[in-house]
Structures are given as C-alpha cells and as structure tokens.
C-alpha cells in the first residue's frame, strides 16, 4: 500500500516540510509517481519513519540518523547507542 505525504504527515503528526527535509538529508527515500511527481511512501518507508522518530526522540541529529541507516546498520546502531548511553550518564552525573 502506498501513502501520500499528507497521509504520512497526519499518521506521525509530522509536518510535510519535515518529511521533505528527511528526504533532502537522505534519511527517507519515497518513490515518485511518474505522472505528477508526487511522493508516495510504502510500508518500508513507514517502518523506517517509525525508527527515525524514535532516534529523534533520543536527540540523534538527522545527519547521524542518515549515516547510521546507510551502511552496516547494526554496527552503526550499536555505536550510536553507546554514544547515547554515554551522554545520558554525563547528564545524570
């Protein structure tokens, strides 16, 4: 199933501009409809957006998220979680 940008925006309570920003930064890669060049998001895009929202809640920067998702995902994920844990420990101390 494909979703339009407005539907995804409402689903996640995220502005359309933020979704376009994620695309610009290389975090999301929605497909385009040939006739009108509209963005469409499939199930994998929705799943990825759930992850992106979680990472943003953990104060990960969008460029860090893009890097983490690009190559060696699990290896990068572990490294970023270690950084996050370290920053939380510093904040608590």
Domain boundaries, the chain: 3-92
* pLDDT score for 81: 81
CATH architecture for residues 3-92: Orthogonal Bundle (1.10)
4 band by pLDDT with thresholds 50, 70 and 90: very high
Give tens-digit pLDDT for 50-89.
989 998 888 888 988 888 887 777 777 777 788 888 888 9
String of b and e for 76-85 (b: at least 16 CB within 10 Å)?
beeebeeeee
Q: For the full predicted model, state whether its pTM sits above 0.85.
A: no
Q: Is the pLDDT reported for residue 3 higher than 80?
A: yes
Give tens-digit pLDDT for 32-55.
988 888 999 999 999 999 989 998
């Amino acid at each position: 199933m494909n979703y339009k940008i407005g539907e995804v925006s409402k689903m996640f309570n995220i502005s359309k501009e933020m979704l376009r920003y994620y695309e610009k930064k290389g975090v999301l890669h929605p497909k385009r409809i040939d006739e009108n060049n509209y963005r469409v998001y499939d199930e994998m895009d929705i799943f990825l957006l759930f992850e992106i929202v979680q990472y943003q809640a953990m104060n990960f920067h969008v460029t860090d998220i893009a890097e983490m998702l690009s190559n060696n995902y699990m290896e990068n994920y572990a490294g970023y979680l270690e950084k996050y844990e370290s920053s939380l420990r510093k904040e608590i101390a």
